[in-house]
Amino acid sequence: MVRKEIVIVGGGPAGLCAALQAGHLGAQVTLLEGDDLLGGQLVKQTHMFFGSEKQHAGTRGIDIAAMLLEELRQLPNVEIKTNVMVLGRYEDGSVTIDDNDRFKVLHPQKMVIATGAGEKMLAFPNNDLPGVYGAGAVQTLMNVYGVKPAKRVLMVGAGNIGLIVSYQLMQAGVEVAAILDASPRIGGYLVHAAKICRAGVPILVRHSVKQALGKESVTGAVIQQLDEKWQPIAGTEQTIECDAICLAVGLTPFADLLWQCGCDMKFIPELGGHTAVRGKDMQTSVEGIYIAGDVAGIEEASSAMVEGYLAGLNAAISLGYGGEEAKKLKNEYEIQLNDLRSGPVGEKIRSGLSKVSAN
Amino acid sequence: MRLEEHPILNFSRGPKLTIAFNGQRLEAFEGETVAAALHAAGVYHLSDSHNLHRPRGLFCAIGQCSSCMMVVDGRPNVKICITKVHEGMTVESQKGKGDLGWYEKK
């Protein structure tokens, strides 16, 4: 059994920032990442970020990941382990891991869970055919490995992910047949939607997929219009020719580890699904287990980073690191989070968070 | 198909190597996943489902959904979306739940 001070699960924006903050305060940190690539979804984001300068607005996601990693590599008290999957946590606090095919047991004093989120599925006949992808998968193939996922894609979902991935597909020379959204209006920022409309790609609101076509893989899709009650309108079916259907219909927290740890959980639709009840310090109902990023509720990378800093900070403070300055930082991060969640755009998040806040 | 030109990204690929997909030789590059190499070669139908034998393809690409499991170097149930290629690797479509014999031999 290996004793550790703080173990961080997940090397995306939240996990990297938690490691950075706790590391800067002098704590012994071990960061575990299931993939061999660090940065999580940041490594696929070729667009420039919004938000405020403190969260690197105006910088592309891929460059933010590189900056965070560079900073992290200068901290000798932060150990980074890739290709490591956390298997479970036991009642005595020990954590079992699969470390590159070897079974190991760690005994951390504190744990920050930043496992992120995954694509939601949409129910329609043939949704299991090859060629039906989550939007994240399309980004991985295209932006990380430089491989075209398809020739002509039907995008489902006109939120920010659907719009941004559509634009990235066009940049990569892939045709986008159309973007559908079941709701009566485009959910994402209009600045993204306008770029796509200018390129001549139709954005069809109140439309959904009736079924995917194909035997071995997707060869097309039947789409249909929906009425005010979200019910299909008979006779509005059209067939779209495409060799891929990309789903961007929202994300749901990867909360398995939170359940397994016995955290108090709640189903919060505004936050994408089940997540853990937490205090202002990001600590769950299980003492010593903190959460940050999308697993704590679906938001965006900017707030994931600040939550990561905050969780890392509080975990380190609870071990006796940091002085007065650390307390000031805590206040600063809380203000940053409030700023990111302010205004009408943050209304849903604020409503969701009010239901999982323990204090 | 591989992207050669991109307005924002530069793809620096590792050295070329060869893998076998169901006995057929495919070109791949060091550092990429099996899923990337297969997609570059136009292979989308990876394996078949256990009960209804329906075609299975890539879905999440982050090792979470289990849709892309194949037999790699004789080992069943390998998530090829998070497995990197190596020279001489054999990749086969998986039929059924996979043979545990590989683990006994190991």
pLDDT digits (tens, 9 = 90+) for B13-38: 889 999 999 999 999 999 999 999 99
The two three-digit tokens of residue A113, written as one number: 């869970």
The two three-digit tokens of residue A190, written as one number: 């209009």
Q: How far is CA B1 from the centre of its chain?
A: 15
Q: In the block, which residue shows the tokens 């903190």?
A: A290
Asked if residue A201 and residue A343 are part of one domain, the reply reads no
* Chain B contact for A255 (CB, 8 A cutoff): no
* Chain B contact for A12 (CB, 8 A cutoff): no
Q: In the block, which residue shows the tokens 């490691």?
A: A19
Residue A149: which domain range? 121-247
Pairing of strands A132-134, A207-213: unpaired
Contact check, Cβ <8 Å, A35/B62: yes
Q: How far apart are alpha carbons A106 and A112 in whole angstroms? A: 14
From A118, A173, A217, residue closest to B57, measured CB to CB: A217
Chain B residues with beta carbon closer than 8 angstroms to that of A171 = 6-8
Asked if residue A164 and residue A20 are part of one domain, the reply reads no
Chain B residues with beta carbon closer than 8 angstroms to that of A141 = 35-36, 39, 58, 61
Contacts of A279 (CB under 8 A, 6+ apart): A357, A358, A359
- What ipTM was assigned to the predicted interfaces of this complex? 0.94
Chain B residues with beta carbon closer than 8 angstroms to that of A132 = 57, 59
Asked if residue A212 and residue A64 are part of one domain, the reply reads no
**CB contact burial A334-359 (16+ within 10 A = b; e otherwise):** eebbebbbeeeebeebeebbeebeee
SS3 A175: strand
Q: Which stretches in chain A have pLDDT values below 70?
A: 1, 49-55, 359
Asked if residue A90 and residue A171 are part of one domain, the reply reads no
Query: How much is the average pLDDT of B48-76?
Result: 94
CATH number of B16-95: 3.10.20.440
The residue extents of the domains of chain B are: 16-95
Contact check, Cβ <8 Å, A171/B61: no
Contact check, Cβ <8 Å, B60/A136: yes
Asked if residue A98 and residue A136 are part of one domain, the reply reads no
Contact check, Cβ <8 Å, A133/B59: yes
Q: How far apart are alpha carbons A223 and A243 in whole angstroms? A: 14
Contact check, Cβ <8 Å, A119/B60: yes
**CB contact burial A279-300 (16+ within 10 A = b; e otherwise):** eebbbbbbebbbbbbbbbbbbb
- CATH code at position A201: 3.50.50.60
The two three-digit tokens of residue A134, written as one number: 């989550």
Interface probe with B: pick from A140, A145, A174, A217, most Cβ of B within 10 Å: A145
Interface probe with A: pick from B8, B65, B79, B80, most Cβ of A within 10 Å: B8
Task: State which of A212, A247, A282 marks the end of a domain.
Answer: A247
Query: How much is the average pLDDT of B67-87?
Result: 95
Contacts of A350 (CB under 8 A, 6+ apart): A341
pTM for the model: 0.89
**CB contact burial A77-107 (16+ within 10 A = b; e otherwise):** ebebeebbbbeebeeebebebeeeeeeeebe
Task: State which of A213, A228, A247 marks the end of a domain.
Answer: A247
From B54, B62, B63, residue closest to A128, measured CB to CB: B54
Asked if residue A59 and residue A42 are part of one domain, the reply reads yes
Give A198: exposed, middle or buried? Use CB within 10 Å, 0-12, 13-18, 19+.
exposed
Q: Which helix (H) or strand (E) holds A333?
A: helix A324-340
**Do A262 and A288 contact (CB within 8 A), yes or no?**
no
Task: State which of A247, A277, A298 marks the end of a domain.
Answer: A247
Measure CA of the first residue to CA of the last residue in chain A; give whole Å. 35
From A34, A130, A131, residue closest to B63, measured CB to CB: A34
- From chain A residues 181-220, the ones with a CB under 8 A of any chain B CB are 215-217
Q: Across-strand partners of A246?
A: A133, A155
Q: Provide the number of structural domains found in chain A.
A: 2
Chain B residues with beta carbon closer than 8 angstroms to that of A119 = 59-60
Q: What is the mean pLDDT of chain B?
A: 91
